[in-house]
Amino acid sequence: MVKTVLKVIDPAGLHARPVSILCSAAGKYSSKIEIEYGEKRANLKSIIGVLTLGIKVNSEIVIYADGEDEEVVMSSLVELMKTNKIAE
């Protein structure tokens, strides 16, 4: 299992557009991928699950990946979030 801590920088937080981008990317991998905010966790492959976390700008999130492609998953998702100015 690998994990990465990021800070949300999108002014609207994790709203529908960035969550859709993340979930679509996560769905391409076989690893279990989760996002944690505060004391709650959600499957990063579930748009509804992630949206229910209510993640706001400047929030700290943790992404977990567990599986055979976990390293690729993590580097890909971190790059995606930085490129789309979702998190840093």
Domain boundaries, the chain: 2-83
pLDDT at 50: 98
- Which fold, 2-83? Histidine-containing Protein; Chain: A; (3.30.1340)
Q: Name the catalytic one among 15, 28, 40, 82.
A: 15
Does the annotation mark 15 as catalytic? yes
As separate numbers, helices (DSSP H) first and strands (DSSP E) second, the chain gives 3, 4
- Judge whether 87 and 9 are in contact, CB under 8 Å: yes
For residue range 14-73, list pLDDT tens digits in order. 999 999 999 999 999 999 999 999 999 999 999 999 999 999 999 999 999 999 999 999
